[in-house]
Chains A and B, each alone.
Chain A
Amino acid sequence: MNRVSSTAAVALTLCVAACGGPGAPPPMDLAPSDAAIAAALAARVNGPDLPQMAIRPEADAPPSCRDSYRVEHVAVTRTPVRDELGSRIRVDADFQVRRLAATDGAAAGLYDCFGADANDPPPTWKQGSVANLKGEGELTWRGGYWLLRIGDEFMPLPPVEAGR
């Protein structure tokens, strides 16, 4: 039994090394809080950018997002997941978004502003009214920081104590 355990430990160590990953398991208790994730998601569209998050022009939400929409609130739900892809945290984000643009033609694309998973807004979504949009993604540990993905958008977030 001991021989099996030690063999398994060696194999696991070699495998982790071969993967080139951070090696240590994700510090789930140091994952960004719901509030930190919500603030990052809202800031990406509303601005200003969070100071700890370097957003390059090519990755920033287009300026037209800020002219078209204002994120009023983001409700975040985190769910720890452990499967064949490893440990990570599923993130579901419910956006409450006020539409600022008057016409469809003047509004930036939801895809560009809220990610590929943004659902279609109700047809009654008029200028000045609020609609609910959903975003889906995950937090993965990158060894020193967490990487938040919502749709096709990726944002590094510093580790913080859960619930802070």
Chain B
Amino acid sequence: MAAVLLALAACSRPQMPPFERSPADPDIAAALVRTLAGEAACKAFELVSAQVWQYPLENHTNVANYALDVDADVTAVRRAPSVHDVVTACFGPWSATPPEWAVGERRTVRTRAWLAYDGHAWSLRTEAGGAASLPAAAPHAFRLGLNGKPGR
């Protein structure tokens, strides 16, 4: 019975996501660009590239939130005008929305995404609700924290 109680106690504590199995930044960036490109709100942009930073933060982890935060600087070219706020619709409310983005102009926009692990693979979710699956990487070293980036 003591073993059961010990196991139950272990179950109830927040679990550390397997950050050591997280995809590499370039793989996350490629999946993010593919996912954004498939979203209707992003059709007004030609997505060129993305640079991402993973945030393995222990305090972002609890029983309900088993995820890894991602910041991304997405470079895109505006290819169509719109009366709607397509920047926010595509890149999310956290994006630093440029006041003017002319058609044909290339800009870099900050957006956010999240990676969740289900025990086998990581799933990437964007601000606009798009999703992609990424295989778990081979175990690698990591450091808890902001990876040199300032906190947000």
Q: B71 contacts the other chain (Cβ, under 8 Å)?
A: no
Known: A154-B143, A156-B139. A8 touches B10 (CB 8 A): no
The total of interchain contacts (Cβ-Cβ below 8 angstroms) comes to 82
Q: A24 contacts the other chain (Cβ, under 8 Å)?
A: no
* Chain B interface, DSSP helix/strand/loop, else mixed: mixed
Task: Classify chain A: how many residues form its interface, as a range.
Answer: 20 to 34
Determine if B4 and A12 form an interchain contact, defined as CB atoms under 8 angstroms apart.
yes
Q: B141 contacts the other chain (Cβ, under 8 Å)?
A: yes
A residues 1-43 in Cβ contact with B at 8 Å: 4, 8, 11-12, 15-16, 18-20
Q: State A122–B18 Cα separation when bound (angstroms).
A: 37
Q: State A53–B142 Cα separation when bound (angstroms).
A: 11
Q: A11-B8, A154-B141 are in contact. List 13 more A-B contacts (CB 8 A).
A: A4-B1, A11-B7, A12-B3, A12-B4, A15-B10, A15-B11, A19-B7, A20-B15, A44-B141, A55-B141, A58-B142, A59-B147, A142-B139
Residues of chain A having any CB pair with chain B under 8 Å:
4, 8, 11-12, 15-16, 18-20, 44, 53-56, 58-60, 83-86, 142, 145, 147, 152-156
